[in-house]
Each structure stands twice: as structure tokens, then as C-alpha cells.
Amino acid sequence: MFDKQVYTERRNRLRAKMGSGIILIPGNNDAPMNYTDNTYHFRQDSTFLYLFGLDMPGLFGVIDANTGNDALFGNDNSIEDIIWSGVKPSLSELAVSVGVKDTAPFKDLFVKVGKGSQAHFLPPYRADVKLLLEELLGIPTAYLEKHASMDLIHALVAMRSVKDDSEIAEIEVACETGYKMHVAAMKMAKPGVMEQEIAGTIEGIALAYGGGTAFPTILTQNGQTLHNHLHSFQLEKGRLMIVDAGAESNGHYASDFTRTIPVGGKFSQKQLEIYNIVLKANNTATALIKPGKTYLSIHLKIAEVITTELKELGLMKGDVKEAVASGAHALFMPHGLGHMMGLDVHDMENYGQIHVGYDDEVRPIDQFGTAYLRLGRKLQKGFVITNEPGLYFIPALIEKWYNEKINHAFINFDQARKYLDFGGIRLEDDILVTDTGARVLGKRIPINPDEVGSLQLQ
């Protein structure tokens, strides 16, 4: 948690941006796993963390832009709570620690805020919060998203997009844990080991040194599947293992890294060729990132790098700029170059990606590939973003494009079919946009092809 002035100042800035109205910031509750009292690790709502800092269930924050007051609603502990869960600070003590003066029992929320009140709220993403807002505001759950406040979304996107030094320090703590996770995976990636054993071990590292993983770990030999959460296979020599994993700091800032490791320690020539293209794409992107450029322009530049190199390998053909304009590269890199990162690994994704990643200048594009680009807008100093180019050979997609005659002018399908058992390669770093360019956050995880495999041979 930061100093209480940080939260007071953030709430005041938000109030100033909003001008008037009552702003509702529900905290998260414990999420049941297989029955009510058997819960997942508690994860506070990121907006609540940003504005009220308190990392425990059962709280509701109200920022009143009419009166200038803030209030926290929640319940104090009973003696039974103390026996089972220990002595905790009172609600008013908690409130003071984040600069809030007014507190009240949770039920008083229904007195303070009621049906028809001019309340700003964000699109809810947890069903229990939807039910609470329905009860509070009289808006049926199915209509809540439609009634979410665009003013509140825009104000918070503007504030949270730019990270201050203390936030960057938190992200670097998460990066340090991410480094430990990836190096552990590299050491374990020997033939015969179960994917699950490695995935579990590195998730344990995330729990041991921070708030757990920032997102469900992707760790698989089947890297052609972009978000593969199965870890049920035994590692086979000669295959590639993709690890896309990151940690949260104890303050719940994220890291998000991807490395691709040759099982058995050595890349084949064919693997090395593709690996080096992705590495070149990653390094080129970091060199291009600076304030004032749009991330869409960098994404498209990287698409050109990839297309040029894939032409060299005989996988693509034709004019590079035309191929990229047609989205032909997206057969091999169907996703975007990266996304915002902060308190959420896809920062503020619950506000609606379109409001976070785009602005008036950079309109969203419907084309396959760029449709998955989560971040297109002009970069500013203080943005923390991911840089994660990748190349994949997805049999179902290759056959679909072949059969539906998509981009036949730019793809050599005969050549692509030689890679159907290849899998995929992705390389991802976390980047801070600085005054003049970019800085890779954290100590850079081994990425040169010689290094990446060598750790398992030691």
C-alpha cells in the first residue's frame, strides 16, 4: 500500500475531472470455489485498489463529487470473526490509513445511495457485484453495463494509463518475481518432465514472493494455441515449450513475460530461423517505442519486419507493404504487439478495451489480426506496455485460409504445411515508455537463443 496522501490525491483528481455526481467504487468479495466458504485467493478490484488501497473483501467506496466527501462502507469484526480470522483493524482505522474520514456499516450504503441516484459506476465483471448494484440502483443486472459511466471510464483511463515512480517500482518488484519464474522454468524444461510440474512450480514462486500469478500461466509444448492453459503433457526432446507467465507484487501490480525454450536445450535449425525472426521483431519494437508514436504504427512496422523475414524463408511472397495491408502476416501472428499493463495485466480491460487502447486518432480496425491489437493509441511517457511478437503455425487456421482462398497472393501454403508440427514462438518483455524512448523493465530474462536452452543443461 502507498502512503495515504497518494489515495487522497487520486480521489481528489478524479473528483475534479468528474465535476459532480456520486462515484461508486465497489470492492471485490471473496470468490467461492466449490462452496461458499471455500474461496479462491482474494483479489481486490483494481480500481478500488487504485483509489482506496485497502486489500480485503467486504468494502464499498463512495466518492462524492458534489460534497467533496469520501466514504467507506463495511462491517467491523465480531468475536467469532476474531476467533476464526484474527484481530483486524476497525473500519475507521482502515479508512484513516487511506485518508478517508467517513465510515459506516455496509447496510447504510442503501441509505446513502439509492434507486435513481445520479451514480457513476464502472461496468461490473463479477456476478455478485452485479447483484449488489441491481439491489442498490434498481437497474437489472443485464442492463448495468449499458448504464456504466463513460465519464468515469474516460477519467480513470486518463489517470491510470500514466504510471508514477512508485507504481513503476511496484511493477519492477513483479518483474523480479517474473524473472525467477522464467529462469526456474528454463532450468526444469528437460525431456520427460510434466508440463504441470513446471507450471505449478513457477506459480508457487509467484505466490511465494508476491500476490500470485497476474494471469493464468500459459505453459505448453503446443504453442500454436495462443492461450493454452492445459499442462497435461510430458516434455519431448526437440519440441518448443512456450511459457507466458507473470507475477503480481504484493501490491497487485503485474508483470507479464514470455519465453520459448527448446526442450533438451538446443534449437533445431528450423526452430532457430523462426526464433531469430521473433527476437528481431521484439528488439526492433523496443527500439521504436517512444512517446508520440502510436502503438498501431509500431505493430504494423513489426508486421513488415516479420513479413520480410518470412519471405526470406519462402513462407510468404509478394510485396511486403501490400501483404501487411491485406493482413496476410496475421496467419502467422494473429495477435497484437501488446497491451497496457499496471494493476491489471491487461490494464483496465474491465473498462472496455476500446476505451483503454484506442483514442480518436486511432480508430479500431476490423481486420483479423489487428482486431486483436489491444493497444493502438499514441504512447505517452509513463505508459507501461508489453512487447510480445510471436509466430505460430496453427493447422486449423492455415487450412481455413487455404480453403477459403484468403491471402493466397502472399502465402506459400506448400511451405507453410511443412511447419504444421512446429508449434509457436513468442517473446515478450515489459516496457516503460520514457522521455525519449523505452526501457525494458526488470532484469531482462535470458532471451538469446544460446542462453535460453543452456540453463537446463547445467
Among 101, 227, 363, 439, binds its own copies (CB under 8 A): 227
Residue 221 binds its own copies (CB under 8 A): no
Q: Report the amino acid identity of residue 34.
A: N
Helix (H, G, I), strand (E, B) or coil at 47: helix
Among 21, 251, 334, 338, binds its own copies (CB under 8 A): 334
Rounded to the nearest 5°, which phi and psi values hold at 60? -145, 125
Residue 197 binds its own copies (CB under 8 A): yes
CB of 312 to its own copies, least distance (A): 25
- Among residues 88, 33, 22, 34, the alpha carbon closest in space to that of 61 is found at 22
CB of 19 to its own copies, least distance (A): 27
Residue 115 binds its own copies (CB under 8 A): no
Q: Report the amino acid identity of residue 142.
A: A
Residue 16 binds its own copies (CB under 8 A): no
The string of DSSP codes covering 320-369 is HHHHHHTTGGGGT--S-S--B-SSSSSTTGGG-HHHHH--SSS----STT
**Cα dihedral 188, 194, 195, 196 sign:** negative
Q: Measure CA of the first residue to CA of the last residue in the chain; give whole Å.
A: 39
CB of 56 to its own copies, least distance (A): 10
For its own copies, what does the binding mask look like between residues 284 and 323, x meaning CB under 8 A? ----------------------------------------
Among 7, 11, 22, 46, binds its own copies (CB under 8 A): 46
CB of 21 to its own copies, least distance (A): 24
Among 1, 16, 82, 158, binds its own copies (CB under 8 A): 82
Residue 396 binds its own copies (CB under 8 A): yes
Residue 249 binds its own copies (CB under 8 A): no
Identity of the residue, 225 or 434, whose beta carbon is nearer to its own copies in the bound complex: 225
Secondary-structure percent of the chain, ordered helix, strand, coil, rounded to 5: 45, 15, 40
Residue 373 binds its own copies (CB under 8 A): no
Residues 152-181 that bind its own copies (CB under 8 A): none
| Bridge partner residues of 145 (DSSP) | none
Q: Report the amino acid identity of residue 269.
A: Q
CB of 434 to its own copies, least distance (A): 27
CB of 139 to its own copies, least distance (A): 14
CA dist., res. 201 & res. 181, Å (int): 8
With beta carbons less than 8 A apart as the criterion, state whether 389 and 333 touch.
yes
Residue 97 binds its own copies (CB under 8 A): no
Residue 358 binds its own copies (CB under 8 A): no
Among 9, 16, 20, 41, binds its own copies (CB under 8 A): 41
CA dist., res. 265 & res. 160, Å (int): 41
CB of 4 to its own copies, least distance (A): 19
The string of DSSP codes covering 192-226 is T-BHHHHHHHHHHHHHHHSSSBSSPPEEES-TTST
Rounded to the nearest 5°, which phi and psi values hold at 28? -80, 160
Residue 366 binds its own copies (CB under 8 A): no
With beta carbons less than 8 A apart as the criterion, state whether 157 and 123 touch.
no
CA dist., res. 270 & res. 312, Å (int): 13
Residue 141 binds its own copies (CB under 8 A): yes
Among 8, 12, 201, 294, binds its own copies (CB under 8 A): 201
Among 350, 386, 387, 456, binds its own copies (CB under 8 A): 350
CA dist., res. 61 & res. 65, Å (int): 13
Segment contacting its own copies by CB under 8 A, of 7-15, 191-199, 260-268, 282-290: 191-199
Residue 222 binds its own copies (CB under 8 A): yes
**How many residues bind to its own copies according to rule CB under 8 A?**
64
Segment contacting its own copies by CB under 8 A, of 5-13, 166-174, 222-230, 272-280: 222-230
Residue 78 binds its own copies (CB under 8 A): no
CB of 183 to its own copies, least distance (A): 15
Residue 251 binds its own copies (CB under 8 A): no
- Among residues 126, 71, 62, the alpha carbon closest in space to that of 102 is found at 71
CB of 114 to its own copies, least distance (A): 18
Burial class of residue 276 in the structure, from the number of CB atoms within 10 Å of its CB (0-12 exposed, 13-18 middle, 19+ buried): middle
Identity of the residue, 111 or 396, whose beta carbon is nearer to its own copies in the bound complex: 396
CA dist., res. 16 & res. 119, Å (int): 16
Distances (CA, A) of 444 to 54, 180, 183: 32, 11, 11
Please give the DSSP secondary-structure letter assigned to residue 378.
B
Residue 34 binds its own copies (CB under 8 A): yes
- Among residues 400, 330, 313, the alpha carbon closest in space to that of 365 is found at 330
| Bridge partner residues of 378 (DSSP) | 294
CB of 64 to its own copies, least distance (A): 25
Residues that bind its own copies (CB under 8 A): 28, 31-41, 43, 45-46, 79, 82-87, 125-128, 130-131, 141, 196-209, 212, 215-216, 222, 225-230, 334, 343-346, 349-350, 394, 396-397, 400
